[in-house]
Structures are given as C-alpha cells and as structure tokens.
Amino acid sequence: MLFSEEDEKNLRLAGEVLKDQTDAVLDLWYGYVGSNEHLLYYFSKDQQPDTAYLAAVRARFGQWILDLCNRPYDQEWLNYQHEIALRHHSTKKNKTDDAKAVPIIHYRYMVAFIFPITATIKSFLANKGHDAATVEAMHAAWFKAVTLTVILWTHPYINKNEF
C-alpha cells in the first residue's frame, strides 16, 4: 500500500477536517445508494428498504469514517475490520441489527465502492482551507486506508488458502 508515517499524519488531519462533516458525507453517500435500485437492494427484502437497518448502518458508517482516520491500525482494529467483513458476507449479514434484507452484499460492490468513497471525499477534505498539496496528501492517505479496509473486508469471500 506504500502506507507511511506521513499517511498516518495526513489521516489524522483528515479526521479533524471530517469530524464535523460526517453527516454531510453520509447524506451524499446515502443519496447515491438510495437513488440506485441495485444498491438499495442490499438494504431491502422483497423490494422494501429496511429503514431501521439503513439507520443503524449509517451510524456505524459515520463512526467508520472517524475510525479510519483516527484509530491505530493494531490488532483490535484488524479484529473489527474482520467483524465488518462478516457483516457484509452471508456469515453475519443482517444479524447485528436483526435486519430484513438480502443475505449478502456481493463482493463486486465492495471493490467497486473504493472509487466513489474516495472520489467524493476530496471536496470535504478541501472545506477547511488547507492548501491544495495538503488536501491531496489527505486524499491519498484516505485512498490507501479505504483500499486497505476493503481488502480486509473481502476476506470471507476468498476461498481457504487463496486469500
């Protein structure tokens, strides 16, 4: 990933920049998901969105933004990434929230979401008046961190001895 101490510093700065913008970030992301039937499907059963499930996931997604920027990437963090992975996979999908939704988020969407989650964050990183080079450094660190978490989240989808 070429993740460095400089990336850690820039992620911490990104966390400061994003901490009071997480609702706006989530509004953008949820607007995107909600406006695409093929994505809303993963929060639905019989074509009806489970609004309680959407709300619970939104709260965790907001915390994920802050955790991605601020928490140390230690064993505790790795363990939680594995838990998140299981919650996307049929292993534990819907169980945390007793949700009424389809039983798995297909692998292709997890990988495909790296781009929108990365591309859309840049304007939020620029909202606090940092110079272009600092915004770019925060954005690059964010991209690496998002890519790393998605790699970790794909673990349950990979066959034994093939991850």
Q: How far apart are CA 150 and CA 34, in angstroms?
A: 21
The fourth-level CATH superfamily of domain 5-157 is Globins (1.10.490.10)
pTM: 0.95
pLDDT tens, residue by residue, 4-21: 999 999 999 999 999 999
* Residue spans per domain, the chain: 5-157
For residue range 27-53, list pLDDT tens digits in order: 999 999 999 999 999 999 998 999 999
Of 33, 43, 153, 160, the closest CA to residue 94 belongs to: 43
Residue where the block lists tokens 């309680």 = 52
User: Which long-range contacts link 44-52 to residues 24+ away (Cβ below 8 Å)?
Assistant: 44/101, 44/102, 45/100, 45/101, 45/102, 48/100, 50/99, 50/100, 50/101, 52/97, 52/99
Taking each continuous run of H as one helix and of E as one strand, the counts in the chain are 9, 2
